């Protein structure tokens, strides 16, 4: 497989924007293209979860290509719920590696602030299985059941989740693009409202607006290349929610096998943490820690931004923010930033689509 390089990673500020999806996408993409020859681009992948619902916008891949002045490009959109950004990267990688295209612009954007929380929760809940929805289950309730199981199986208390929430908020506080810039105390965590027991305010990612973009190239080298990619699907027919996601296990295995690497080779990671326990489960499924030990690793500072294995140094979805269609691509942008800042050679990103039904793992190498 020919090497594919990453150029011009760019991120908007996450939070609330007054712009449309197309306008914000155009701004982010222009920032990437200002550092890459626009005429080289022959493929545009746009990704967004549901701009049709959030902002009443349609046919955005072609409209974005037009607004950017990209002529005769192959312009398409991908969507895999909350892993949309990651799936766009993987599709572009495969199209470039196959030899039909040489340079791809990838843009992921979501504007969620135009809908209220109740309506947005219904939109997000639409990705769950019919059986789950017949039980009136929301995404947060599904994550709460998983969290209860995790705490019970590994003998933790709800209060122990403070340590992961604090780490993510501390990291986000230092991120200039983060939606949530607030350090929290143990008392803050205890006093925060519970949204879906045991998950409270500081355990659940916010509804964010934001955009991410980058360029993939099969012909222009950079210091970052994609070393391995992997995907995995979960089943919709089951309502049993455990402390390991088969879709993640499959994605990690494919990525490790392709990269010819082991979990011990990973030096830094950005893992999907729409809920605090999802970082823990993601790290354990990746083989970075034994089952049930990821939370202890947080407590011991192992996965802190200055630890031996930094995980979510950006603040993750929890603190950086979670604009659904952009998050998977934002993880790659942030991973590159910290690989360069901390002089790391191998990084891992993990993105969850739905309630672990369409997951992706990406391994980057700094050369």
Taking alpha carbons only, the member of 224, 195, 330 closest to residue 272 is 330
pTM of the shown model? 0.97
324-364 pLDDT tens trace: 999 999 999 999 999 999 999 999 999 999 999 999 999 99
Other Cβ atoms closer than 10 A to 367: 11
Mean pLDDT computed over 209-224? 98
Beta pairing, strands 43-47 & 74-78: parallel
**% helix, strand, coil for the chain, step of 5:** 40, 20, 40
> Is residue 230's pLDDT more than 60?
yes
Contact residues for 116 (Cβ-Cβ < 8 A; gap 6+): none
pLDDT tens digit string along 239-287? 567 899 999 999 999 999 999 999 999 999 999 999 999 999 999 999 9
Beta bridge partners of 322: 207
Under 8 Å CB-to-CB from 228, ≥6 apart: which residues? 254, 255, 256, 257, 258, 259, 260, 261, 361, 362, 363
Is 58 exposed, middle or buried, given 0-12, 13-18 or 19+ CB atoms closer than 10 A?
exposed
Compute the average pLDDT of residues 138-162.
96
Q: How far apart are CA 120 and CA 124, in angstroms?
A: 6
Confidence of residue 136 (pLDDT cuts 50, 70, 90): confident
- Whether the Cβ atoms of residue 194 and residue 308 lie closer than 8 Å to each other: no
| 360 phi and psi angles, rounded to 5 deg | -135, 145
Q: pLDDT tens, 71-96?
A: 999 999 999 999 999 999 999 999 99
Contact 55, 20 (CB under 8 A): yes
- 5-115+209-217: CATH architecture: 3-Layer(aba) Sandwich (3.40)
User: Nearest-CA neighbor of 281 among 241, 254, 308?
Assistant: 241
| Closest CA relative to residue 229, chosen from 262, 213, 252 | 252
């Amino acid at each position: 497989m020919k090497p594919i390089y990453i150029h011009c990673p760019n991120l908007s500020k996450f939070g609330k924007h007054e712009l449309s999806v197309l306008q914000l996408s155009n701004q982010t993409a222009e920032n990437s293209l200002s550092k890459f020859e626009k005429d080289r681009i022959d493929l545009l992948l746009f990704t967004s979860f549901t701009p049709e619902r959030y902002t009443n916008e349609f046919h955005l891949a072609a409209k974005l290509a037009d607004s950017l002045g990209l002529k005769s490009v192959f312009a398409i959109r991908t969507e895999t719920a909350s892993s949309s950004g990651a799936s766009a990267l993987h599709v572009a990688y495969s199209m470039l590696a196959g030899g039909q295209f040489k340079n791809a612009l990838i843009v992921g954007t979501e504007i969620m602030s135009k809908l209220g929380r109740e309506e947005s929760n219904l939109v997000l809940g639409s990705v769950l299985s019919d059986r789950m929805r017949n039980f009136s289950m929301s995404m947060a309730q599904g994550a709460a059941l998983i969290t209860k199981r995790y705490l019970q199986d590994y003998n933790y208390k709800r209060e122990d989740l403070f340590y992961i929430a604090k780490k993510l908020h501390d990291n986000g506080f230092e991120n200039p693009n983060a939606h949530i810039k607030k350090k929290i105390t143990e008392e803050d965590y205890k006093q925060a409202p519970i949204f879906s027991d045991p998950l409270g305010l500081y355990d659940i990612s916010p509804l964010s607006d934001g955009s991410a973009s980058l360029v993939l190239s099969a012909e222009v080298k950079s210091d970052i290349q994609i070393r391995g990619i992997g995907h995995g699907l979960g089943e919709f027919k089951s309502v049993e929610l455990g402390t390991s996601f088969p879709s993640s296990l499959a994605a990690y295995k494919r990525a490790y096998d392709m990269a010819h690497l082991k979990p011990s080779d990973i030096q830094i990671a950005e893992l999907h943490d729409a809920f605090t326990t999802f970082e823990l489960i993601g790290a354990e499924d990746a083989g970075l820690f034994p089952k049930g030990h990821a939370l202890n690793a947080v407590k011991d500072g192992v996965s802190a931004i200055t630890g031996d294995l930094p995980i979510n140094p950006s603040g993750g979805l929890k603190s950086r923010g979670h604009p659904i269609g952009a998050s998977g691509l934002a993880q790659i942008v942030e991973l590159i930033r910290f690989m360069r800042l901390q002089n790391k050679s191998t990084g891992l990103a993990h993105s969850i689509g739905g309630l672990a039904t369409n997951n992706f793992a990406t391994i980057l190498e700094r050369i």
